[in-house]
Structure 1
Amino acid sequence: VTLMKFTSWENGYTNKITRARTLFNFIFYFLDRVSRDRLKLNCNMSSDILMLEKRKEIEDILNSYENKNEFHYDIDTKLMMYNEQAIILKISSNNVHNQLGTWTINGGLEMKYDALTVVSGRRFFRVGTAKAIPWTFMEDVWKGYCIDLIEKLSMEMNFKYELVVKDQFGELDPVTNQWNGLIGGLVDGELDIVIAALTMTSEREEVIDFIAPYFEQTGISIVIRKPSRKTSLFKFMTVLKPEVWLSIVAALAMTAFMIWILDKYSPYSAQNNKPKYEQFRHFTLVESFWFALTSFTPQGGGETPKAISGRVLVAAYWVFVVLMLATFTANLAAFLTVERMQTPVQSLQQLARQSRINYSVIDGSDAHQFFRNMKMAEDILYNVWKEIALNQTKNRKDFRVWDYPIKEEYGQILAAIERTGTVPNRTVGYQMVLDNEQGEFALIHDSSDIEYEVYNNCNLTEVGEIFAERPYSIAVQQGSLIQEEISRKILDLQKDRFFELLNAKYWNASKLSACPNSDDSEGITLESLGGVFIATLVGLLIALITLAFEVVYFKHKRAKVAEVSVVNNTVHKDKLMYGHELFMTLGRSSNSDDQTRWANKIKLDSTTGRLNNALFFRRNKFQN
């Protein structure tokens, strides 16, 4: 252990006062011997400083004092004080004291060895950090990225430490001009080392020393809630508006009706020219509707009408079908792709230009200070430009523009943040983001913190690119001898890829795989196109129901036909018996000419095998 031992600690203040009185008695005795007025003595015991109204050079008097090295006279302040002496000792583990040097007010620091070769032997430090997830957080004990780094440095550098956790990183109070938080702890000597998510700034570097960065290039980013996807089995139907679907159905029905009309009344249609067309398609109303419907399929509607008027109508309808199919296909692909890739905003500039999404920062955070500094810079640039444009005499025409040439976007962003209001802490900020299910609130915050939350919460997403990048670094007191030692260890840990292991531990991207719909490249889900399969199943069900009706109808019709056939057979037998009876009657009552004439009339039909109906229905006449 290296320490400074003041000799006044051994002698005590009583001894100091005694020696001071001895000195002034000597001075007064010396002054009495010269022809001068007596000095007015003012002794301020509380500050241990004695002040004299100088009538003679005090240094000349001290030179005559035998114990002159015990006191110091400051020529600039005209103050005389006790010459404190400090002995710098190095105490080894076996309690051996080695004197490295001394320090006095008169002589300053006197080292027995080169000061650059003296490495602090102190192996106990007060290490400061600040609460920030995932850097330092409490789970029964303190854990986090910084805690792991402190433990690693403690083992590598062989020191013990006391952990001091503060709520603030450190800001300069403009009223008291004093630093608070971790920076204030280093300035006041309360802390020896600060290992936290501490950014390097020029203001902080004026009062403390930064070591080589341990976390490269973090910055500020934007986090919003993932817009909730409205899944629907019939989502493909939403590609076109309802009025478009109704228009398509109306066009299909109108085309089918017109095909039926044209085929029925056109003199050149197939059904009106049966001798010309041996086999043709009869376009009834049902058949015309089926033709219009099947025209949407790749195989087409089948045989077309024969009349030119019908073909012109079909050609125009086919153009309509091709355009509608192409439009639907393109819009369906774009609709499903954009649904997976779309986010409300893509950058800070887009966020600033829109008004639907509110956004804010954590009060007093680095992001908040960044926007305030950028707003101040814009104001300064505007004043400089205005001064040049208004007061320039030679080149005034070079500054004549219709509008201010620099965009004041940061002023607008800061004004929007003030309208929304800053959030008190990160917990409240992330909760506000999660409470807006439609992604209507965004938090602008540290990118590493946002990335950690995104990996651990499936409902959050980071948008835009990181801006205002800066590294995180370890800080020590100004002039600290352990600065170089820690810097060397940081470089060694980087070579050993220690920081990569910490990054993989606390920013584990594999957690995203557990999130639903985490991989948008997997393709279209069944939920989006399930309605297509449902429509197919509905068609199958309707076909089965239709088949049942067809079977029942066919059986009913066949039974009815069988009944009619029985009746026809009975009538046929009656006709044969009546014909025979009539023929015999004619043979008995008529001459040969009448018999021949009626015999030719009584014959079977060549196609049906039945008696001539005309003859059959004249039964009463012949019977009479």
Structure 2
Amino acid sequence: QDLKLKEGSQVSQQGVAMINGKLYEGFCIEVAEKIKERYERLEGKGPGSFNYKFKLVDDNNFGSANKTVGTWNGMIGELLDQKADLALASLTITRARQRVVDFTKPFMKIGISIMIKKPDKQKPGVFSFMEPLDSMVWVCVSLAFTGVSLVLFFIGRWSPFEWRAEASRKEISVTNAFTLSNTLWFSLGALMQQGSDIFPRSISGRIVGSAWWFFTLILISSYTANLAAFLTIERLIPPIQGVEDLVKSKDVEYGTFKGGSTEAFFEMSQVPIYRQMYEYMKSKGDQVMVNSDKEGYEKVRQSKGDYAYLVESPKNDYQNQKKPCNTMKVGENLDHKGYGIATPPYSPLRKDLNLVVLMLREEGELHKLQRKWWFDKGECGTMDSKDTSKSPLTLSNVSGIFHILIGGLVLSMMVSLVEYSVHRLRKQHKLRFRKQMDAPRPAIKIEKKNPLEVLKAAGYTGICDNTVSYTFKPPEQLTTFESGKNTEL
């Protein structure tokens, strides 16, 4: 039996097929070919068991219900009228459609997204040199600069090794190089990678200097690397960043495909912001709503950035890869759902098609086809070459060097305390030694004697030269002189 597949003209047409005398190619056509191959491999099937031909849907609709008479149009209506055996297109699985037809497992995951026109690229501004670092990082660097300067100043006052004696005009004065202004100059010189003419002499001061030098080395290197991106890449700044911005914006209108699953999503949603969006689109009517996706794409391209089209994410991604390459997707998807193959109710094909879709997903064939038709054949370059986004370094990116700096400051203060304590102990020891040296001692008399007289007194009659000898007596035998009196100790 020949199967008739309904292919909506809005779909990105992707394999190659002749339909009504016209050549079509696209993703869904290749998916149909893969389905045929896998279907004929199933148990009990064989070559020729799955033959099909494409037919475009007559009214160019996916399928929406007429609540007044209870009928459906588009592909869903033709399935119900037995005009087709299955519908293979970007047909979203919804609760309303699932009630009247059967769907296979989703062959593609999707979500509602926002399409806007690309804004004009902006050149770097006057203060672009500050953008490589987040504002909080600049604040923390300023605090670190002040903190290091103060710690170094107090260490210079506290540590005895930072004081030095200088003589000028016969006066000796004790000076300290690390005044408050000098410590600020030292920290600024290190931050600017220029150095200064003063350096710490104490171990604690050198620890502060080393921690600050390491901090500035990593910070300046990271800043320089990020600065190149901010000064060379022209920025795209869209007027909105997501659905919240879209709702709040008074300059950007938004709409969607009239009667499609996207409109039904907003109509049925209980989320306040989505209900607000539906009421807005309903009040604007044809001013923002379109009768086809193609009309929506053109409305975005012809706008000046003041219209956003709400469309399913695969269509958004596909159109962003088509010339003139002036559309883009912003924000996250608003919901999560999928495209499925629809069959008439209780169709015997549904069970086998489910197995085939699962086989294609597990083998990665669907992902390969999506990559091929969305990006490899794109006219605006790959996703990687398009991605020119850049972001400043946040505090979480450089928090490590702040931790090292804080650790260095704490260590330096501990070492400074040890230096001060050791210096005090040494000073006390010197004072005790000096007191001992300055204590009063007994006088020592040096007695000059003529050896000849000594020998004669002893009865020596020999010859002796007239030399002088000095005899040191112990303290108890010394002679003291007091008021002209001679006293023997």
Verify: 1:518 aligned to 2:386, yes or no: yes
Match of 1:499 in 2: 366
For normalisation by structure 2, the TM-score amounts to 0.51
Match of 1:124 in 2: 2
Structure 2 Cα separation of the partners of residues 515 and 500 of structure 1: 15
Aligned to 1:443, the other structure's residue is in SS state strand
Instruction: Indicate how the Cα distance of structure 1 residues 482 and 367 shifts in structure 2: closer, same or farther if over 3 A, else same.
Output: closer
Instruction: Indicate how the Cα distance of structure 1 residues 505 and 335 shifts in structure 2: closer, same or farther if over 3 A, else same.
Output: closer
Aligned to 1:222, the other structure's residue is in SS state strand
Instruction: Indicate how the Cα distance of structure 1 residues 501 and 179 shifts in structure 2: closer, same or farther if over 3 A, else same.
Output: same
% identical equivalent positions: 25
Structure 2 Cα separation of the partners of residues 467 and 522 of structure 1: 24
Aligned to 1:465, the other structure's residue is in SS state coil
1:210 to 92, 103, 123: 103
Structure 2 Cα separation of the partners of residues 143 and 366 of structure 1: 25
Q: Is the 8 A contact 2:5 2:87 kept in 1?
A: yes
Structure 1 Cα separation of the partners of residues 385 and 120 of structure 2: 11
**1:322-337 alignment, distance < 5 Å:** 336=230
Match of 1:350 in 2: 245
Match of 1:586 in 2: none
**1:523-534 alignment, distance < 5 Å:** none
**1:55-454 alignment, distance < 5 Å:** 123-135=1-13, 140-155=22-37, 156-157=39-40, 158=48, 159-166=50-57, 167-215=60-108, 217-231=109-123, 236=126, 336=230, 340=235, 342-374=237-269, 377=270, 408-417=272-281, 418-419=283-284, 420-437=287-304, 439-454=305-320
For normalisation by structure 1, the TM-score amounts to 0.41
Larger Rg: 1
Q: Is the 8 A contact 2:122 2:234 kept in 1?
A: no
**Per-residue displacement from partner, 1:543-576 (whole Å, max 9, x unpaired)?**
xxxxxxxxxxxxxxxxxxxxxxxxxxxxxxxxxx
Runs of 4+ in 1 over 4 A off after TM superposition: 135-139, 237-240, 297-300, 332-339, 509-512, 514-517
**Per-residue displacement from partner, 1:37-67 (whole Å, max 9, x unpaired)?**
xxxxxxxxxxxxxxxxxxxxxxxxxxxxxxx
Match of 1:543 in 2: none
Alpha-carbon shift at residue 467 of structure 1 (Å): 1.6
Which structure is richer in relative contact order (CA contacts within 8 A, separation 6 or more)?
2
Aligned to 2:263, the other structure's residue is in SS state helix
Alpha-carbon shift at residue 132 of structure 1 (Å): 2.1
Structure 1 Cα separation of the partners of residues 382 and 53 of structure 2: 39
For structure 1, the residue ranges without an aligned partner over 5 or more in a row are 1-122, 241-296, 301-328, 379-407, 524-624
Alpha-carbon shift at residue 171 of structure 1 (Å): 1.6
Aligned to 1:445, the other structure's residue is in SS state strand
Q: Considering only aligned residues, what root-mean-square deviation do their CA atoms show, in Å?
A: 3.8
Structure 1 Cα separation of the partners of residues 228 and 280 of structure 2: 34
- Give the partner amino acid of 2:120: S
Aligned to 2:61, the other structure's residue is in SS state coil
Q: Is the 8 A contact 1:135 1:197 kept in 2?
A: no
Alpha-carbon shift at residue 334 of structure 1 (Å): 12
Instruction: Indicate how the Cα distance of structure 1 residues 509 and 231 shifts in structure 2: closer, same or farther if over 3 A, else same.
Output: farther
**Per-residue displacement from partner, 1:461-492 (whole Å, max 9, x unpaired)?**
11010122111111212222222222222222
Structure 1 Cα separation of the partners of residues 62 and 353 of structure 2: 20
**Per-residue displacement from partner, 1:351-373 (whole Å, max 9, x unpaired)?**
10121111111222222221122
Q: Is the 8 A contact 2:94 2:261 kept in 1?
A: no
Structure 2 Cα separation of the partners of residues 153 and 335 of structure 1: 46
